[in-house]
């Protein structure tokens, strides 16, 4: 498994293909599920022109790695790749990629969803949005309405 937190723009689909070619054993996976989070031009009723994403170097990577390891213990994951940006991000650019390879789709879907949801809950990142009214820190992420139904959310 690999976790990268970087400032530069990346192509999530190319990164997924490249990682699969370099790191995945041939013929062992029957499913690859990818989640790509991208930058919207609106949030909480305001137009957003750009965003600065702050992180805590070291702690951020450590907590994403822990979430990936938890997912690999819960489901049959062959491999996983997480790429997450920090710094200035423009509209429509990718912010995060989670790619999970598994023998079967159910494990890949559930592990991917677990990783992105727990990453959003635990990895120390903070979004500061630029709007016409000025800069503002985002106070909370949107909920995933499907987590309880899928049993992917543990009680605290």
Please state the closest distance from residue 78 (CB atom) to another protein, in A. 23
Contact between 60 and 124 under an 8 Å Cβ cutoff? The reply is yes
Instruction: Please list, residue by residue across 4-22, b when 16 or more beta carbons sit within 10 angstroms of its beta carbon and e when fewer do.
Output: ebeeeeeebeebbeebbee
Please state the closest distance from residue 26 (CB atom) to another protein, in A. 31
Residue whose entry in the numeric block shows the structure tokens 């790429």:
83
Stretch that binds another protein, among 13-21, 49-57, 72-80, 100-108 (CB under 8 A): 49-57
Please state the closest distance from residue 77 (CB atom) to another protein, in A. 19
Cβ nearer to another protein, comparing 16 with 117: 117
Cβ nearer to another protein, comparing 84 with 107: 84
Reference 7, options 63, 115, 60, 83; nearest CA is: 83
Q: How long, in residues, is the chain?
A: 156
Please state the closest distance from residue 43 (CB atom) to another protein, in A. 10
Stretch that binds another protein, among 22-30, 71-79, 104-112, 119-127 (CB under 8 A): 119-127
81 binds another protein (CB under 8 A): no
- Number of residues lying near another protein (CB under 8 A): 28
| 47, 70, 91, 120: residue in contact with another protein (rule CB under 8 A) | 120
Q: What residues from 1 to 30 belong to the interface with another protein (CB under 8 A)?
A: none
Binding site for another protein (CB under 8 A): 37, 53-56, 58-60, 62, 84, 95-96, 116, 119-128, 137-141
């Amino acid at each position: 498994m690999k976790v990268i937190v970087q400032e530069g723009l990346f192509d999530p689909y190319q990164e997924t293909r490249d990682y699969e070619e370099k790191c995945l054993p041939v013929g062992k996976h029957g499913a690859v599920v990818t989640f790509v989070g991208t930058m919207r031009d609106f949030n909480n009723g305001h137009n957003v022109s750009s965003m600065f994403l702050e992180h805590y170097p070291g702690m951020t990577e450590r907590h994403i790695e822990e979430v990936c390891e938890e997912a690999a213990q819960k489901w049959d994951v062959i491999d996983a790749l997480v790429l997450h940006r920090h710094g200035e991000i423009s509209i429509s650019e990718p912010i995060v990629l989670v790619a999970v390879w598994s023998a079967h789709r159910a494990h890949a879907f559930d592990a991917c969803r677990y990783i992105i949801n727990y990453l959003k809950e635990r990895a120390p990142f903070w979004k500061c949005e630029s709007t016409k009214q000025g800069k503002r820190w985002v106070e909370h992420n949107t909920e995933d309405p499907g987590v309880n139904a899928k049993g992917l959310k543990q009680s605290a």
